[in-house]
Chain A
């Protein structure tokens, strides 16, 4: 068990910077998830920790050892791969014991450890099977057994569930949680699936274009995203965004206006351009406005398409009016909103309705940099990024 520390790690290939100045400090026993869209550098980061790729610059510590230039075999790590990567020419026993045999462990100890690991992943009795005789889930268990049998300091998992079918993925997710609980080992987990990131991790590191966007607990990433990218990436369905201009006591977007107290947000003046963000669940029909912490004035919209999901209904909304004085492109003006409502709500397509925004859950981002300006835009409860905890106290 060990902490893992990355200091200024950069990895460039010919002309592409895959990882840029990454700083991570992971506590011993922590389950941390690197999440981001494909090509964001999360896998490269993992590979530099594993030693499969040498960083162009920067330093990596595992435990108290500097491992930047050590080969993978000497780093005390184990890794589970997306394509599972079982050796097809070896049976389950040989796969699991591969690392132990390379290190010349006595035969009895190898047997004992392999059996223990197999029991842990509930594969006892299958040690003589070949990988191609097993199901995808079983294979992934073998891969996990192979990684735990050496009792490594750190587990690295590179999208281990990505190749499994949906049902199996949920099962394996629970198993990984159990694994972490029982082994209490540092786990670094890479995924582009934010549901996995939210449910498994102690902390999430959100990456984009090779740079760390935010590292925080899943809830904090959800409620107080550092910037527009994190806000859009975390949460499903994604947050609604609208470019807007700060007017007198209101935000003017292409399709609608939201009243807000300009004094509640530091550093924003009339006429500034900001990007407003609001999650689908923070938009309410006017008749349900009492559910919102701090409802805005009603906004007239028209319903477009309904997507009943069973536990909720996703409602696509079109703004009724479009201002021409916003200076925005036509596409932006037409951009609709997504609202989620209770499944028993009486609502139909192509219907004029009035909605309110929960201003306590509204986010403002700098129009140019995308940095978060405020989470919640209500006086007294408004919070800037620096004092982000405040808006969580609202409820």
Chain B
């Protein structure tokens, strides 16, 4: 035992001493200690900004001078945004009279974008995932090739599609125009720009979707397939009765993640050269309020709060749907 006593502590250093001190904390105190660094960063860089933005949204815009807030304005910023009565607004958030075309209203444009891109990404992602799952030589390479678009910086993603559709330069402008699908200036036309942005987004994020779905596919117990084979299930039946129901929860989570991302779309709009003036997403509105000719912080904050509200609503719908479908699956 003498030897045991001879070597005490891990090294006697400061860290070791701190470690020993934590030993005598209760579980509760220890948990709070461990959470402190993370929540300190979050408090300064996330929770405080959120609270601050929320507060700003109730203050009037100060047109003259940069970076200032006007007096307390109550819900006026919100009312103006939702009734399209903000004279300084770079684009419409929502026009209740529907005089403005749907795609030029930030709310509907973003919703449509989110629905189309998420549906496209889910279908493509599922196909990619099946391709990544099947066993064949060279699967590793195929997996890498499928994942790579996801890792490409948004600017470069935008660059690619900009170069494809730039009039007189891009490969796809002329053919698409000649079949009457696109105008001669696709990057400056709202509909064309919307399509380009959606395609660009689907191209990049299908890969991420595929990753999540693949994870779901891989975690399906392979024995179930053997059981199905013994029972004489066809490949379609295997998919219909085993793969799909078991992957469904993962699919829902993946779609939830992607919908949250799609509702906040901004980077790809700017980087494809389509630009916020042509395709005004909700986040576009926020940045334009901020960095436009005059910095309208109150309206910018109000718009960003509205985005969070829309995202929150979507998430609630998803959660309710997931809950309901779980019950359905249990019954089946």
Contact = CB atoms under 8 A, between A and B. Distances in A.
Report if A and B touch in the complex (beta carbons < 8 A). yes
Interface of A: 1, 54, 69, 71, 74, 76, 102-105, 109, 150-153
Contacts of B20: 71
A71 B4 CA distance: 16
Contact of A150 (B4, B8, B10, B26): B4
Contacts of A105: 3, 7
B23 A153 contact: no
B23 A104 contact: no
19 contacts: A54-B26, A69-B24, A71-B23, A71-B24, A74-B8, A76-B4, A102-B10, A103-B4, A103-B7, A103-B9, A103-B10, A104-B7, A104-B10, A104-B11, A105-B7, A109-B3, A151-B3, A152-B4, A153-B1
A185 to B, nearest CB: 11
Contacts of A54: 26
Contact of B1 (A74, A76, A102, A104): A76
A152 B5 CA distance: 11
Contacts of A152: 4
Contact of B4 (A1, A69, A151): A151
Contact of B8 (A69, A71, A103, A109): A103
Nearest to B12: A104
B318 to A, nearest CB: 34
Interface of B: 1, 3-4, 7-11, 20, 23-24, 26
Given A76-B4, A109-B3, A151-B3, 6 more contacts: A54-B26, A74-B8, A103-B9, A104-B7, A105-B3, A153-B1
B108 to A, nearest CB: 51
B1 A151 contact: yes
A336 B24 CA distance: 54
A50 to B, nearest CB: 13
Contacts of A74: 8
Nearest to B22: A71
Please provide the 3 A-B residue pairs with the shortest distance between their CB atoms, ordered closest to farther.
Answer: A71-B23, A103-B7, A104-B7
Contacts of B8: 74, 103
Contacts of B24: 69, 71
Contacts of B11: 104
Q: Which of A1, A104, A152, A153 has the most CB of B within 10 A?
A: A104
A103 B11 CA distance: 8
Nearest to A150: B4
Nearest to A1: B1
B19 to A, nearest CB: 9
A109 B3 CA distance: 10
Contacts of B23: 71
Nearest to B10: A102
A185 B148 CA distance: 60
